[in-house]
Structure formats: structure tokens, C-alpha cells
């Protein structure tokens, strides 16, 4: 399972960077969305995958018995998803506004501030 996830994450990172290198600003934002999902899955995969073992302590015991899933990475991912959601909502509004003022969705037309 872990090695399958490794391939999936690698493909997601590659796809994200490919999309970000395109000239269209819409594809740029799609790249950013994929990138944040790839990072979240990476956290999920590297912290170890455990099936069917919720981190619950049985009644009467002081510590969990046997192997349990680590809840912390899931908390991290949840936080990261919320943050990414907010930031990407902003990015979508930004490209919409940029398209309005520039009249074009081509990044090559947005070089005025570089020179």
C-alpha cells in the first residue's frame, strides 16, 4: 500500500509542477490545488499507514493495546486542508480579477512588473 501511495504522490507532484509551468493562469491555480493535495497525501503516507485500528483506549486500560493508527498526521492534514482551502479561494478570486484588468489569461502578458 505504501509503495502504491508513493507512486501516486510522485505522479501528483509531477502533474502539479507541469501545470504550474503552463502559461495559462487557470492551469497555474489547478497546479497549486494538486500540489497542496500531494503534500497532504505525503504526510499521510510517510507517517505510516495502519488499517482498522482506531486510536481508542479500551475501558479500564491506561494505554492503547497493540498497534493503533497515529491520529496526529490526520490532524495536521485537516489543518492543512483548511488553510489550503482558504488560500486557494483567494487565488481563484485573484486570477479572476487579474483576468479582468489584464484582459488575458496568458502569464507572458503579465511581465510589466518584471522589468
Partner 1 sequence: MSPEVVLPIIIPLLAGALTLAFWRSTFYQRWISLFATTALLGSGIWLLSSIRETGFVVMQMGGWAAPFGITIVADLLSAIMIVLTGIIGLAIAVFSMAATPDKHQKFGYFPLMHLLLAGVAGSFLAGDIFNLFVWFEVMLLASFALLTLGGERAQMEGAIKYVTLNLFSSAIFLSAIGLLYGMVGTLNMADIGDKLSQVEHTGMVNVLAMMFLISFGIKAAAFPLFFWLPASYHTPLVGVSALFAGLLTKVGVYALYRVFTLIFIGDTGYTHTILLWVAVLTMLTGVLGAAAQFEFRRILSFHIVSQIGYMLLGLALFTPLAIIGGVFYIMHHIIVKTNLFLISGVVYRLLGSYDLKKLGGVYKQRPWLAILFLIPALSLAGIPPLSGFFAKFLVIRAGLEVDAWIATGTALLVGLLTLYSMIKIWAEVFWKKLPEGIDDSRLISNRTDSQLLVMLIPVVGLTLCTLYIGLNGEPIYQLASDAADQLLNPAAYIEAVLGENL
Sequential DSSP letters for the chain: -HHHHHHHHHHHHHHHHHHHTSSBHHHHHHHHHHHHHHHHHHHHHHT---SS----PPTT-SS--S----HHHHHHHHHHHHHHHHHHHHHHHHHHHHHHHHS--BGGG--TTT-
Contacts with partner 1 by CB under 8 A: the residue count is 36
Of the residues 15, 20, 26, 30, which one makes contact with partner 1 according to CB under 8 A: 20
Residue 97 touching partner 1 (CB under 8 A) = yes
**Beta partners for 106?**
24
Q: Which of residues 22-51 bind partner 1 (CB under 8 A)?
A: 25, 28, 32, 35-36, 38-40, 42-43, 46-48
Shortest CB 2 distance to partner 1, Å: 11
Q: How far is the CB of 114 from partner 1 (least distance, A)?
A: 5
Binding residues for partner 1 (CB under 8 A)? 20, 25, 28, 32, 35-36, 38-40, 42-43, 46-48, 72-73, 76, 79-80, 83, 86-87, 90-91, 94-95, 97-98, 101-102, 107, 110-114
Amino acid at each position: 500500500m505504501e509503495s502504491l501511495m508513493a507512486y501516486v504522490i510522485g505522479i501528483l507532484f509531477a502533474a502539479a509542477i507541469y501545470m504550474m509551468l503552463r502559461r495559462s493562469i487557470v492551469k497555474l491555480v489547478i497546479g497549486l490545488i494538486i500540489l497542496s493535495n500531494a503534500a497532504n497525501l505525503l504526510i499521510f503516507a510517510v507517517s505510516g499507514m495502519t488499517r482498522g485500528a482506531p486510536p481508542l483506549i479500551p475501558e479500564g486500560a491506561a494505554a492503547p493495546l497493540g498497534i493503533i493508527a497515529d491520529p496526529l498526521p490526520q490532524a495536521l492534514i485537516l489543518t492543512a486542508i483548511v488553510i489550503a482551502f482558504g488560500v486557494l479561494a483567494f487565488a481563484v478570486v485573484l486570477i479572476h480579477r487579474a483576468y479582468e484588468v489584464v484582459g488575458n489569461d496568458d502569464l507572458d502578458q503579465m511581465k510589466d512588473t518584471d522589468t
